[in-house]
A and B are shown apart, each in its own frame.
Chain A
Amino acid sequence: MSQPSPLITTHDLSFCFGQRQVLHNVNLAVPPASIYGFLGPNGAGKSTTMRLLLGLLPAPTGAVRLFGHDLAQHRLALLGRVGALIEMPSLYDHLSGHDNLEVTRRLRGLPAARTPEVLAIVQLSTDAHRPVREYSLGMRQRLGLALALLPEPKLLLLDEPTNGLDPSGIMEMRELLRHLRQDLGKTILISSHLISEVERLATHVGVIRQGELVFQGPLAELQRLEHRPAQVVIETDDAATCRNLLPLDLGAATVLAPGTLALPYQSPEQMAYLAQQLVSAGQPLYSLRREQASLEQTFLDITETTQRA
């Protein structure tokens, strides 16, 4: 087996804030050159895990390994190879974007050429000498990413990097991360509470729920978990009336909203038949469509149904 060694591994990683246990035996394995989407609802333990991976919270010896080395023993040396963006980037508003990068570049003892290089990567070169207090949220987030990229890290840890971004900002960030992996060979661990944010980006996914890792594997594997049948969704005026008028056809349907019905999908003929029946019953038919459960639904199922169990 020539399986490449994971860049990040955690071994039965647990953590307590006082009496409250927030992580239970988490075993992460982030393969090299992957974009690993670390997903879970708010408060599931994502941020705590990210902070443990950076040594901001203490992890016991042997629990966290980066690049094959134990973090507890080699923290500073390992941090030299990691770029991180934890939620909102830490920016000095009174300094320019350029000087903000210089602060971290000097702190890490990196060559002066890195500052213009990362400014170019995140496309902030033209705004580099404006004070950061004038930056938009998207620009701040990109500058935060530039800070993480300064040391040319093999590994990027990004905690909710699209928090607070507008849709175009999210798209820009997504393009940037894809470029970093494909063209620069970075491994990226990105946490998010929205699967829609990472599903077009991630190669691998880990799902955390109430401090437990409930799924980990390639994205395709998560997609295969989805085995629920497709549904027919009907948009009309009054769902309840339709059901009463057509008890044979719609008796099994569920009312999703006052004007929306859903029932198990069978065949294209079923769709045509339903349309005909509704129209003959004198009911308006605004829309009739077949819906496959989305990855989002699968994600919600993993994080919610196990919660009830």
Chain B
Amino acid sequence: MNAAFPALQMPSPGAQLRRSFSSDLLKLRGTAALWLTLLSGAFPVALSLLIYYFKGQYLLKPGQNPWQAYVLQSWQTASGLLLPLFVVLLTSLLLNIENKASAWKHLYAQPVGRGALFASKLGLLLGLNALAQVVYAGLLAASGLLLGLLRPELHFLDHALPLGPLLVLLGHTFVATLGLLAIQFIASLWWRSFVAPVALGLGATIAALTLMRWEYISWVPYAAPLLSLRAIAHTQSALAVNGALAASEWRSLGWFAVVLTLGYGLLRRRHEA
């Protein structure tokens, strides 16, 4: 019977992933998810810039290296509150591209496995998350240099730009977002809605910030970005960041691995009714 039909050919897993990713990139064109990624870092940087431009002389002691105080002050707002909310919103916006188009039935009827579709979306989300954080850190560094030009008496240009410590801090913050990113990712895929996972993320972030002094807070992935600030050494001198991962960051990685594994197992069995 099979002789009547040509032999079967299946795309390799690598080809499936490459194709999914290329298709996902195209879908990003002109979406809110892309604009959020590119622009959201500018907001906390602009606030810090204005604060230091107008009130910098009260915030720095004479002769102090301004970078440490400046980075800590900005990073606190940005990573403590804004970063978890950013990840919540980004995840929902990215997956809402498919949910809004009711595209899942179409995607699952293409010769690309569910694993490739899952991995491609996850990869894109991680990439956008990383890009947004890099843009933020880059803008923060640039704003410090700008302050050095506009307000020379704050001495930003008299001290070296702490590029190394900034990168280490960036690494901490990125790892700290992974746990909550995985939870939001699976929630958005499972509920196929925009509002429900955003509500979950908002609630969890607010709860985490409220419970910051709880002895088990390092297990809560939504608190991890704020906790990763503890990697900054409290000195009056140059910015110094501890390289080792904190307990909250290890646990964020643990959440990431466990939630994605269980979530993928559940989603794979989902029927497209």
Contact = CB atoms under 8 A, between A and B. Distances in A.
Contacts of B8: 69, 74, 77-78
Contact of A92 (B1, B4, B22, B103): B103
A160 interface: no
A24 interface: no
Nearest to A94: B30
Given A77-B9, A102-B26, A92 B111 contact: no
B26 A108 contact: no
A89 interface: yes
B43 interface: no
B106 A90 contact: yes
Contacts of B15: 109
Interface string B67-102: 000000000000000000000000000000100111
B129 to A, nearest CB: 21
Contacts of A99: 26, 29
A93 B101 contact: yes
Contacts of B11: 76, 80, 109
Contacts of B100: 93
Nearest to A84: B109
Contact of B27 (A51, A67, A103): A103
Nearest to A53: B109
Contacts of A91: 101
A239 interface: no
Which of A69, A77, A86, A90 has most chain B Cβ within 10 Å?
A: A90
A56 B102 contact: no
Interface string B49-66: 000000000000000000
Interface in B187-213: none
Interface in B1-59: 1-2, 4-5, 8-11, 15-16, 19-20, 22-23, 26-27, 29-31
16 contacts: A5-B5, A68-B2, A69-B2, A76-B11, A77-B8, A77-B10, A79-B109, A80-B9, A91-B101, A93-B101, A94-B31, A95-B30, A102-B26, A104-B23, A106-B19, A107-B20
Interface of A: 4-5, 17, 48, 51, 54-58, 67-69, 74, 76-80, 82, 84, 86, 88-95, 99, 102-104, 106-109, 147
Given A4-B4, A93-B101, A109-B15, 15 more contacts: A5-B1, A51-B272, A58-B271, A68-B5, A69-B8, A79-B110, A80-B11, A89-B106, A90-B106, A91-B101, A95-B29, A103-B23, A104-B23, A107-B23, A108-B110
